[in-house]
Structure 1
Amino acid sequence: MTIYLDSAATAPMRKEAIDAYVEAANNAFGNTQSLHDAGSLAADYLASCKKLWGQFLNVRQDGIYFTGNASEANQLAIRSLLKGRPEHCRSIVSTQLEHASVLSVFHELEQEGYDITYVPVDEFGRIDLDAYEQLVNAQTALVVMQLVNSEMGAVQPVEQCAKIAQQFGVPLHSDIVQGFGKLPVDIGSWGVASAVCSAHKIGGPKGVGIAYLDPAIHWESVYEGTTHQGGFRAGTIDVPGIVSASIAAKHAVMEQPANYEHARKLQDYLIEHLPEGIIATGDIKSKSPFIHGLVLPHVEGQWMMLACNRAQIAISTGTACKIGYGEAMSAMLAMGTESDAAKKFVRVSFHKETTNDEIDHFIQLVGQSLSEFFPHS
């Protein structure tokens, strides 16, 4: 049986979420845009889910939208907010630790004349708040600040960043995919203009992204003529998927304090037993205990990932949304890691069922590879 240490890529689906999907698929199969009873029933299910997500995030439910995934939600939210900003605001402030879906839209926006400024981060991946404060001004169109980095788990001060941006009337978008259901999240009190979650990171189905856009902030549709979801996203809404995602989120939020404590203990165990020479990235005191970036002293991350796979242990070399080292390399270089060392990066990530025994198997395999590589050490 596979030891699964890659929950940051996707988490196992919860039984409650699977059951909810089946029930909703049987009962709420109508199109929410249809005016007959089947359509009305599906629309009722959708309204209930929006209400739940409003409660989870402490925001207005009329600002909740559903997409095909969090990558799409990031891109739609960023572009929707930018279309609503004054024409003279052409500067975006962010970090190089963002998810691939955000970095790719930045690349497109640069071609369209936007200026992307990246806030420097320290060796633990935490932003320089003083530098950030200097970069945000009345010409800033948007701030994009991920809550939890998906490579090594660095947590950014999103609430402080949002409050600084608000002084200039600048909206802040936050990808909270690796934070929601794992850390305490309160988008409403933080003053975040938009945020994005992902169902499959918390035991829900793949193919459901959740976006929040503050209804008090002006935004415009990315695609002209879109009628679904107030113009935010085109296409028939996947009601069973959204119901399943909402039930998974309900359980994740209820279990969040206990799961955090479990992950913190696993983190302590991992760090205490790591073989000598392996560097754990990130600041243990402030990072998410669910995600661990490790730099190996001897082999490239891809080699170790394949060795683990042969032993039925699932780890990764970083985010699954970019082939190879992409995002992990970008994050490591931003933190001042040399490129050769960054290639030796692997990531392990936990979920609520992860055990010390599973971590032991991983540590033993890494230790064995080290002893083969350094036989006299």
Structure 2
Amino acid sequence: MIYLDTAATSPMRKEAITAYVDAATKAFGNTQSLHDAGSTAADYLASCKQMWGEFLNGRADGVFFTANASEGNQLTIRSLLRGRPPEYQDIVTTKLEHASVLTTLNELEKEGYHIHYIPVDHYGVIDMHAFEQAVSHRTALVIMQLVNSEMGAIQPVAECAAYSKKYGVPIQCDIVQGFGKLPVDVRSLNVTSAVCSAHKIGGPKGVGIVFIDPSVHWESVYEGTTHQNGFRAGTVDVPAIVAATIAAKYALAEQEDSFLKAKQIQDFLLTHLPERVQLVGNTKTKSPFIQGLILPHVEGQWLMLECNRKQIAISTGTACKIGYGEAISAMSAMGYDTDMARRFVRISLNYQTTVEDIQAFLQVVQSSLIDNKTKATP
């Protein structure tokens, strides 16, 4: 199969699989146990925290592990809010956030928080003037995704963080679609917290990585929790964390070459894209690993199924939203109507994607355009 859905998940690297097996054999103990098996597991965990601190250019004691990035987003948001003065009830964000964030925001709104959604332009980039108007000393939290998962728009996170911190406001950043693909440095971004995912970079599913600046006050969502300094309850999955760490090491080593290759593939796609197919976003500034396309003639789901019949995997938007409007909320925020959103498909690349893979995808698109049974009525 030609796999063009890396933004949803990626196949595990063989090095990560090997690391998992090795750690499962040697570090099977509970990190909270006081015997040697527990101490061994705790040593493995400490080493992984140290490495992730280096990967993100942050302190190791600010690194935590969750069951996935969705849980990481939700725990981080609520932990930071619990550490803020209770009278601060304003949250500043966008409609382009991941489903895990939007769900949490809906819950928080019911709990009394005021959510300010900053408008974005036709390319999916926020209006900085509107952002600055929304942030004040009484803002509880800013939530800003680095790379949008539908069309790859990159937000000016560092600029938003610098402005937010003038008012002492923490900023949480979902870096899931950026880490391992673009340069991501929590100090350069100046963010309070960041969340990424192992299975987007060739690691195992079931591991989210969270960084929270140790100098910032937060409070545990779960009272009485002892694991990971109270951030998350439950026995830590050391073998999976080791595998995630090894996957990250390889992804970062290949990052520069992978980015250049993705740019070349994006240029090829632009050059050979059928005239009536529209690419969403600004290719000069967006992530080249994510390509959102609007079809002129059929719904995205139809093309997805047609590609699947040809053994090509694509998607109609973020996997976490499938069945719940898919890309419609993000597209609506960017000014596209519902009909156009339903004709949206996404292809997403990894370090193994080739030009030949894109050619095979474009052949399916071209065939669908000239097929009288699917061609749009003039």
Check 1:376–1:90 CA distance in 2 against 1; reply closer, same or farther (3 A cut): closer
Residue 369 of structure 1: aligned partner: 368
The alignment yields a C-alpha RMSD, in angstroms, of 1.1
Q: Is the 8 A contact 1:100 1:327 kept in 2?
A: no
Residues 1-377 of structure 1 aligned to structure 2 (within 5 Å):
2-324=1-323, 326-372=325-371, 373-374=374-375
Matches of 1:166 and 1:375 in 2, distance apart?
Answer: 51
Matches of 1:54 and 1:375 in 2, distance apart?
Answer: 52
Matches of 1:296 and 1:324 in 2, distance apart?
Answer: 20
- What per-residue deviation string (whole Å, max 9, x for no partner) do you get for residues 219-266 of structure 1? 000011111000000000000000000000011111111100010001
TM-score normalised to structure 1 length: 0.98
TM-score normalised to structure 2 length: 0.98
User: Residue 66 of structure 1: SS of its match in structure 2?
Assistant: strand
Q: Is the 8 A contact 2:53 2:59 kept in 1?
A: yes
Q: Is the 8 A contact 2:295 2:344 kept in 1?
A: yes
Matches of 1:224 and 1:327 in 2, distance apart?
Answer: 35
Matches of 1:181 and 1:361 in 2, distance apart?
Answer: 26
Task: After TM superposition, give the deviation of residue 92 of structure 1 in Å.
Answer: 0.3
Q: Which amino acid aligns with 2:76?
A: A
User: Residue 320 of structure 2: SS of its match in structure 1?
Assistant: coil
Gaps of 5+ in 2: none
Task: After TM superposition, give the deviation of residue 187 of structure 1 in Å.
Answer: 0.4
Q: Is the 8 A contact 2:292 2:346 kept in 1?
A: yes
Q: Which amino acid aligns with 1:334?
A: A
Task: After TM superposition, give the deviation of residue 129 of structure 1 in Å.
Answer: 1.0
Q: Which amino acid aligns with 1:143?
A: V
Matches of 1:313 and 1:248 in 2, distance apart?
Answer: 25
Q: Is the 8 A contact 1:73 1:211 kept in 2?
A: yes
Matches of 1:303 and 1:269 in 2, distance apart?
Answer: 24
- What per-residue deviation string (whole Å, max 9, x for no partner) do you get for residues 15-70 of structure 1? 11011000000000000000000000000000000000000100010000000000
- What per-residue deviation string (whole Å, max 9, x for no partner) do you get for residues 155-192 of structure 1? 00111111000000000000000000000011023221
Matches of 1:59 and 1:323 in 2, distance apart?
Answer: 34
Q: Is the 8 A contact 1:317 1:324 kept in 2?
A: no
Matches of 1:68 and 1:182 in 2, distance apart?
Answer: 22
Moved more, 318-327 or 210-219: 318-327
- What per-residue deviation string (whole Å, max 9, x for no partner) do you get for residues 356-375 of structure 1? 11111110011101101339
Check 1:375–1:225 CA distance in 2 against 1; reply closer, same or farther (3 A cut): closer
Gaps of 5+ in 1: none
Task: After TM superposition, give the deviation of residue 327 of structure 1 in Å.
Answer: 4.4
Matches of 2:169 and 2:377 in 1, distance apart?
Answer: 58
Q: Which amino acid aligns with 1:260?
A: F
Matches of 2:147 and 2:285 in 1, distance apart?
Answer: 11
- What per-residue deviation string (whole Å, max 9, x for no partner) do you get for residues 267-308 of structure 1? 011111111111000100000000011000101111111111
User: Residue 127 of structure 1: SS of its match in structure 2?
Assistant: coil
- What per-residue deviation string (whole Å, max 9, x for no partner) do you get for residues 119-163 of structure 1? 110000001111111110011000000000000000001111110
Task: After TM superposition, give the deviation of residue 12 of structure 1 in Å.
Answer: 1.3
Q: Is the 8 A contact 2:149 2:290 kept in 1?
A: yes
Matches of 1:31 and 1:257 in 2, distance apart?
Answer: 37
